[in-house]
A and B are shown apart, each in its own frame.
Chain A
Amino acid sequence: MEAILKRTAQRVHESDDEKLLIEQAQNGDREAFEQLVRRHDRDILRLAFHMLGNREEAREVFQETFLKAYRSLSRFRFESSFYTWVYRIATNVSLDHLRKRQTLKEEISYESDTEMNPDRPALKETLAATTYYSNPERRLYGKEVGEKIREALKTLSEKERLVFELRHYQGLRLKMIGEIMGSTEETAKNYLFRATQKLRAYLTHV
């Protein structure tokens, strides 16, 4: 979390010369474009890696995002920050990939549904054993919990998933998330609220 805060502070500093870099990149300056990329590519890769959950697709999303940015940079009008703009592209590309994967899965079979069978120990118990009622000082995290959380995230709608991803996993403020979605902070708040409700329902009732 501290790292995220530091990054945010850094970003404010960098915004001054960023405009210049963007203009240079718009004039075809590859060096300037790559400098812009370097400023944000760790964040974009982290987003892609978590959204897709594997290296292959994370790399694809990463490259697709910046190639799209490269191709449409001339249309960037400084109405938002470059960071917000790239994030918007990255979230769209990530969601596209998830959608494709979803279609593929539905086409293949029902087999994956067996994964959701309630044969496994209920997460409620896992949570109870790990965090809910036990000593908060202990390291509580088990691998199984991680898997459950991934499943729970799949129950969210796209917008809920997006807002939750950006706020919880990427540490962005709701105000910026509103901008990324082309919407408002209020809307982002509502999605965050619904997302946590759904996650709680899933994680305590499986």
Chain B
Amino acid sequence: MSCRDYQHQITLLLYDELPESSRVELETHLQSCPNCHDAYESEKAMHSVLAEDAARWSDIPSDLLVESRKGLADKLDRIERNRSRWRLPAFSVVFTPMRLLESVALIAMGLALGVYVSNQRQVIPQVAGNPAQDQISVIPRNGTISNLQVVSADPVTGQVELAGEISQPLRFQGKMEDDTVRSLLFSALRDANNPGSRLKAVEMLAQKPTDESIEEALINALIYDHDAGVRMRAMEGLQRFADEQHVRAAFMHTLENDTDAGIRVKAIDALMARNSRDVELAKSLEAVTKKDDNPYIRSKGLEFVGTAK
């Protein structure tokens, strides 16, 4: 191999992408060839400068992650809303039985939940030529139809296109840790029309924030939910984790954007209780609380800056 070939391999060596045998050969050559050795040293030096640059970029700001996720969720919501309203085939039935979560009692200890299995809209395709009765049979016994919409109706052919939702009671028992219980609760959190059901779900989750996925669900509820009660419960479930990066970012977001002063107060209290020595945080808190129209929050902000110093 020529020196040129060896110098080609230096880059790969520095990126740990050189196969073992070539690596040994290259290292041997570097010991005996001053030219290649120089090239290696200079490339290594550049590599370390670039590596420091990469290290600077390796962490993404957690509030940016929160914002980006929220933006995406909003857009997906919009797409889904349009789809469920307008893109349904004739006589299809759409399942969103989340409503039932509210109507069936949620007994705390046994965790008997009246929910269904996933909050997705399963579109049942129409089999060509089937009489309507067959389609009706897809509605489960004790299922009910709600939110019926006439998508289109043709008086000449008698063809109609309907869309609606089927709700069906179901019970599920299990431990909080069970994946099914969890996905039931997570699904309930998305039931946009039903704050009562979301509130119960958040209460259950807040009792036992054991892991990242629950934390994430609570953060979502805290930031996205339109109902102040739901946001408040989520806040309560999260407050003891106020020293964790993502929770902190979420609380800062709340402090800056939540319209409910009670929730903002909780946010600043939790941030202060868990991060009393964080000067950086104190600074951004000061900037945010300065503009707050609530005097308690403004004074808390000042107090925090004082204690952090």
- Whether the Cβ atoms of B42 and A132 lie closer than 8 Å is yes
- Whether the Cβ atoms of A31 and B183 lie closer than 8 Å is yes
CA gap between A136 and B58 in the complex, in Å: 21
- Whether the Cβ atoms of B17 and A67 lie closer than 8 Å is no
Contacts of B58 in A (CB 8 A): 3-4, 46
CA gap between A197 and B52 in the complex, in Å: 18
- Whether the Cβ atoms of A200 and B43 lie closer than 8 Å is yes
CA gap between A50 and B56 in the complex, in Å: 10
CA gap between A34 and B80 in the complex, in Å: 13
The residue in chain A whose Cβ has the minimal distance to the Cβ of B186 is A31
| The residue from A29, A50, A67 contacting B120, defined by CB atoms under 8 A apart | A29
Contacts of B69 in A (CB 8 A): 41
The residue in chain A whose Cβ has the minimal distance to the Cβ of B212 is A38
Interface secondary structure of B, over-half rule: helix
Given contacts A46-B57, A173-B17, A192-B11, contact A30 B65 (CB under 8 A): no
Contacts of B53 in A (CB 8 A): 141, 145-146, 149
Check if B187 is an interface residue, CB within 8 A of chain A: yes
- Whether the Cβ atoms of B119 and A193 lie closer than 8 Å is no
The residue in chain B whose Cβ has the minimal distance to the Cβ of A71 is B79
Distance from B180 Cβ to chain A, minimum over Cβ atoms (Å): 12
- Whether the Cβ atoms of B57 and A169 lie closer than 8 Å is yes
Check if B68 is an interface residue, CB within 8 A of chain A: yes
Flag the segment in A57-65, A87-95, A99-107 that touches B: A57-65
- Which residues between 212 and 237 of chain B lie within 8 Å of chain A, taking CB atoms? 216
The residue in chain A whose Cβ has the minimal distance to the Cβ of B12 is A189
Distance from A146 Cβ to chain B, minimum over Cβ atoms (Å): 6
- Whether the Cβ atoms of B46 and A203 lie closer than 8 Å is yes
Distance from B40 Cβ to chain A, minimum over Cβ atoms (Å): 12
- Whether the Cβ atoms of B61 and A28 lie closer than 8 Å is no
Contacts of A168 in B (CB 8 A): 15, 50-51, 54
Contacts of B42 in A (CB 8 A): 132, 200
Check if A199 is an interface residue, CB within 8 A of chain B: yes
Contacts of B46 in A (CB 8 A): 127, 196, 199-200, 203-204
CA gap between A37 and B48 in the complex, in Å: 33
- Whether the Cβ atoms of B79 and A70 lie closer than 8 Å is yes
Contacts of A136 in B (CB 8 A): 48
- Whether the Cβ atoms of A30 and B12 lie closer than 8 Å is no
CA gap between A42 and B245 in the complex, in Å: 14
Interface residues of A, Cβ cutoff 8 Å to B: 1, 3-4, 27-31, 33-34, 37-38, 41-42, 45-46, 49-50, 55, 58-59, 62-63, 66-67, 70, 127, 130-132, 136, 140-141, 145-146, 149, 167-169, 173-174, 189, 192-193, 196, 199-200, 203-204
29 contacts between A and B (CB under 8 A): A30-B119, A30-B190, A31-B118, A31-B120, A31-B183, A31-B186, A34-B73, A37-B72, A38-B216, A41-B68, A45-B65, A45-B68, A46-B57, A59-B68, A63-B68, A66-B72, A70-B79, A127-B45, A127-B46, A141-B53, A145-B52, A145-B53, A168-B54, A192-B15, A193-B8, A196-B11, A200-B42, A200-B46, A204-B46
Interface residues of B, Cβ cutoff 8 Å to A: 8, 11-12, 15, 17, 42-43, 45-58, 60-61, 64-65, 67-69, 71-73, 75-76, 79-80, 118-123, 183, 186-187, 190, 216
Which 5 A-B pairs have CB atoms at the shortest separation, nearest pair first?
A141-B52, A62-B68, A29-B120, A59-B68, A50-B57
